[in-house]
Amino acid sequence: MLSESFRFFLGVRILAEMEIDVRGQTCPVPLVECRKALKKASPGDLVIVKGTHPASKKEIPMACEAMGLKVLDIEDKEGGKEWEIKIQR
Amino acid sequence: MGEKTVIILHSGDMDKVYSALIIANGALAMGMEASIYFTFWGLMRLKKGELNKGPLSKMNMMGLGRQMIKQRMDKANVASLERLMNDFKELGGKIIACEMTMEIMGLSKEELRTEWIDEWGAVGSYIQEARNANVTLFI
């Protein structure tokens, strides 16, 4: 991810992509790590969350909706054992 | 923002401290503000090195039950209380310590994890926090 000062120096808006891996983590870690990433991201940035905790697959989109953020994609992986959620900050 | 969760943590039992921190972290993660008011046995968990030292609320069996639950929690990859507390602070959670409990228990500020504590207060602080809260719990 580019630092704020570097972005300013360039004077352009470069969208960053942030990936967080919470596979194997349980409640409330996936939700909390997702929020931490969203806090660090700049508006427009993409946050991708990879996890296995079943409840978080529906709760992360619920949290995003409550915060007015757009969920671009929810995808099942590894035959439904894993999921990947793409969020636009 | 604007929505808020306020929790009174009266119990110092390990499982109940978990409940309070998990709920409070969940609230922050879902875009709410959150604060925890530590009082009575709950306040004991803010003593240096005591956060995870509480007994189990049921089936403690002189610490045997607690040990068993701890093992199961490790196996299920449950986060430590220390980590949950750090996440809570990082996401902007607020901690209020009960001054009357400190007086009753003979505690000084130096004995507590002051780096976590945002405010020292009494019932008025709780009510002021909870006045406009959407969720408030007594644990």
| pLDDT, tens digit (0-9, with 9 covering 90-100), for A65-84 | 999 999 999 999 999 999 99
CB contact A77 to B (< 8 Å): no
Q: Which residue range forms the structural domain that includes residue B87? A: 4-138
Catalytically annotated residue among A10, A27, A55, A67: A27
How many residue pairs bridge chain A and chain B with CB atoms within 8 Å of each other?
Answer: 44
The 10 Å CB-count burial string (b at 16+, else e) for A14-29 is eeeebebebbebbbbb
Superfamily for domain range A15-88: TusA-like domain (3.30.110.40)
Return the percentage of chain B with pLDDT > 90, whole number.
Answer: 99
Strand ranges of the sheet holding A70-77, from the earlier edge strand across to the other edge: A17-22, A46-51, A82-88, A70-77
Q: What ipTM, to 2 d.p.? A: 0.90
Mean pLDDT throughout B85-90? 98
CB contact B87 to A (< 8 Å): yes
Mean pLDDT throughout A16-36? 96
pLDDT tier for residue B2 given thresholds of 50, 70 and 90: confident
* Total number of domains in chain B: 1
Per-domain residue ranges for chain A?
Answer: 15-88
Compare B73 and A6 and report the one with higher pLDDT: B73
Phi, then psi, of A79 in degrees rounded to 5: 60, 35
C-alpha to C-alpha distance for B55 and B79, rounded to whole angstroms: 18
CB contact B90 to A (< 8 Å): yes
- Crossing angle for the helix pair B14-29 and B64-75, to the nearest 10 degrees: 30
Amino acid at A74: I
Return the percentage of chain B with pLDDT > 70, whole number.
Answer: 99
CATH code, B39: 3.40.1260.10
pLDDT tier for residue A10 given thresholds of 50, 70 and 90: low
pTM as predicted: 0.90
Q: Which pLDDT belongs to residue A6? A: 64
Q: Which two tokens stand for residue A43?
A: 């508006």
Given a cut of 90, is residue B60 above it in pLDDT?
Answer: yes
Strand ranges of the sheet holding B4-9, from the earlier edge strand across to the other edge: B119-121, B94-98, B33-38, B4-9, B135-138
Residue closest to B63 by CA, chosen among B9, B10, B13, B11: B13
Is A34 noted as a catalytic residue in this protein? Answer: no
Q: For residue B90, give how far its alpha carbon lies from the nearest alpha carbon of chain A (Å).
A: 8
